Each structure stands twice: as structure tokens, then as C-alpha cells.
Structure 1
Amino acid sequence: MALTGTAALAETVEVKMLNKGEKGAMVFEPDFVRVQPGDTVKFVATDKGHNAESILDMIPDGADTFKGKINEEIEVTLDQPGLYGVKCLPHYAMGMVMTVAVGDDVTIPDDYMEGRMPAKAKERFAEQLEQLDSL
């Protein structure tokens, strides 16, 4: 019975994949969200030519990876607390990335941004992580 109650409290947060948004070209909007374990993030292909996929070295240990197809709406339920880096593969070099924080007590792992990534993506991740304590 407790599982039913927990599932009923789970939320779905919608993220649009856009050619142009408030923060420029090729963006997820919003580009930073905080959800609770068990919540779902729904990536909506508002504009054509985008996908949403996890970045392998930027998800919590034990978390499942995900990869949507181009122009595909994808819903991802995130159970593992921590930070999830998400990219649009075709526009990764243009900085089309976002951050999902799962849980209330999330810290940035020391090696979170150590992997190779395009400069624009690194810049946008840095901006997103500044929001971690404000939401």
C-alpha cells in the first residue's frame, strides 16, 4: 500500500527541446530542474531535430542510462539521487545540455565535469550548476 501512495505522489516535469529559447540557440527549456527520486522528466520534441540522452560519466553510480531517438518524446523516471547530465547528441557541440538534480541533498561530484566535452557545453553546465543551491 505504501508503494501506491508513493507512486501517486510522483510528479512529471516537462522539458522542451528547442531551436531557440530564452538562453539562446539549441537549448533545453528549462535547462535545470530538481525532482525527487521516482519523478519523471518528459522531454518534448517541441522543435524538430533533437533528442535527449544521458551523458555516461555524468549520472549517479547505479543509475540507468537513457537515449531518445531524434524527434522523439521520451519520458524518463529517475530513481537514483544525484546529478544527471543530459545532452542532445546532434547539438552537443553547440551546448545543448541540461542538468537534472534528483533529491534535496545533491552535491556536485569532484569529477563531474572532468570528461571531454565541447566548450559551449561546459560553459552551460557551469551556469546550470550555479542553480543547484537556489532550487
Structure 2
Amino acid sequence: MTDNNEPETTDTGDRESLELIGDYGVDRRTVLRTLGTGGALVLGSGVAAAGHEEPHPPHIDSHYGYSAPTDEQLPGKLAPDETVGLHIAEEGPFTFHFDPMGLQIDAGDVVRFDFHSPDHNVAPFHVGHGRQQRVPDDEVPFSSPMISPGGFWLFEFDHPGTYDLYCAPHQVFGMVMRLVVGDPAAADYDGDFGDEGRPPTSAEDLAQFPGVDEWQLPTSADAFATDALSVANIVEKGPVTRSDVIADL
């Protein structure tokens, strides 16, 4: 009889071992150690090759996604469907920005967020974050960590609808974007987000800070109010750039 608490062990050939190693995201040293023991793999919850515990398995978490500091740590099985960059421009409105700022994807698509400059993260406007609910009602309050330049974050968008996203450190400067996921009809909301949670920051909000008589730069509220970031425009014209939004202010 087999103890149900014991990990499952299977003997495989070299090719099968390599496939399993690829699935579990094991590093090169573990590959050599595993093949040197005749290809015996210990399969369990995040455990491979003689008790080696893999701290970052190739799985996109529903709350925290999947992140890594370099391209070399992107498992092939997690290849993204679309890519969005996080940038700091040298000048102009929306100095801190996503590129593109508007994008349509299919439900179930994986989006890769590339961090080209420091101090960014990705989060949804969600009541779980103290914000307006500007994502589908059945979506969780997911978030990326703060990721250093050169790193990336992956998230799988499963629920059809509209997702308004922001960078927490730079939302006040208009660093937001809109994703249209799946059927455009499911994403075509009327802009009534209810009274719960904080809306995107407006110039009126910022003018209330001591020493600020009038806010001169476009805000997150200004960005979402443009025709360029309307659901209809994103669906009709495809990816919407920072330049498109600036031109529409």
C-alpha cells in the first residue's frame, strides 16, 4: 500500500524528464542532478527532483499574477498574448504612462506588463483596494508587486468586461489604462460606478491639497473621459497610445 501523504514518484526517460522539468520550472543545476540519478522525479506541490522546493512555480496566480526580474525567467508555457509597457516620458502630459493606454483582448488572454522604469505597479480600480469598482463584479482585487526595471508581470484576464487599471504611485499623475476584455457588449458600461470607493483623481481633487491653487496637468479622470479611451474607440481602432489620448484632450 502507498501512504497518501508520500509524494508520487515516477521513473522516466531523459526526454520525459526534461518535459516535466520544463513544466515545473526547475533550474539547470537541478536538471543535471535529476538526470544524474537516473531520471527519478519526485512530483508534488511545488516539489521536484529529490525534495528540491521550487519557490516560484510557473503558475499565474489569480490575485498576484506571475512576476520575474528578467526575460530569462519567463517559462515557455506562460507566453503572453499581449504586451503593455510602463514608462516615464521625458516631457509632456502623462509623463508616467502605460503604452498602450487602451487595448482590447480576448477573455482568457495573458497580458505581459514590461517595466521599463522604476517605481511602478499594476492594479485595478476595485473596491477591495478602496477604489471605485471599475472592473467586472466577479473579479478579485488583484495587484502586481513593485517591479524593478527590466522585469515583467503576467496576469490572465478571464472575466469579460472593462478593466480600468492604474499604477498606484503615479495614478495621481494620470498613469491609467483601459482594457476591453472579450465581448464589447459586456464591456460597454454607462459610467455609473456607484458611490463606494475613490474615483480616478481629478484636478478638483488635487486643488484641495495645501499649496496647490490649480492643477495644470491632465489627470486620471481626464484620461478616462477622452473619446480615445472610450470602449467603442478601443474596439474600433485597436490599441490606443499615449499620443492618441493627448491629442484628444
Measure, in 2, the Cα distance between the counterparts of 1:88 and 1:15: 13
- Residues 81, 69 of structure 1: CA spacing in aligned structure 2 closer, same or farther, 3 A cutoff? same
- Alpha-carbon shift at residue 11 of structure 1 (Å): 5.6
Deviations 1:40-97 (A, max 9, x none): 1111111111111111011101123321111262111011100001000000100000
Q: What is the aligned residue count?
A: 127
Alignment partner of 1:118 out of 184, 189, 201: 201
Q: Which residue of 1 aligns with 2:158?
A: 79
Given the two structures, how large is their TM-score scaled by the length of structure 2?
A: 0.46
Q: Which has the larger radius of gyration?
A: 2
Matched with 1:13 is 82
Partner of 1:40: 110
CA distance in 2, matches of 1:112, 1:133: 21
Q: 1:108 maps to which residue?
A: 189
Partner residue, 1:61: 137
CA–CA distance in structure 2, aligned partners of residues 102 and 113 of structure 1 = 21
Q: Which runs of 5+ in 2 are unaligned?
A: 1-76, 127-132, 203-218, 239-249
Q: For the Cα contact (< 8 Å) 1:60–1:83, is it kept in 2?
A: yes
Larger fraction in strand: 1
Question: Does the 8 Å CA contact 1:18/1:45 hold for their aligned counterparts?
Answer: yes
Q: Does 1:51 align with 2:130?
A: no
Supply the distance in 2 between the matched residues of 1:104 and 1:84 (Cα, whole angstroms).
13
Structure 1 contact 50–71 (Cα < 8 Å) conserved: yes
Instruction: Determine if contact 1:58/1:113 at 8 Å carries over to the other structure.
Output: no
Alpha-carbon spacing, 1:109–1:64, altered in 2? closer, same or farther (3 Å)? farther
Deviation of 1:133 (Å): 4.2
Q: Per the alignment, do residues 49 and 27 of structure 1 end up closer, same or farther by CA in structure 2, a change over 3 Å counting?
A: same
3-state secondary structure, aligned to 2:140: coil
Distance 1:133 1:19, change over 3 A: same
Asked if the contact 2:161–2:183 (Cα under 8 Å) also holds between the matched residues in 1, the reply is no
Closer, same or farther: CA 12–110 of 1 in aligned 2, 3 Å: same
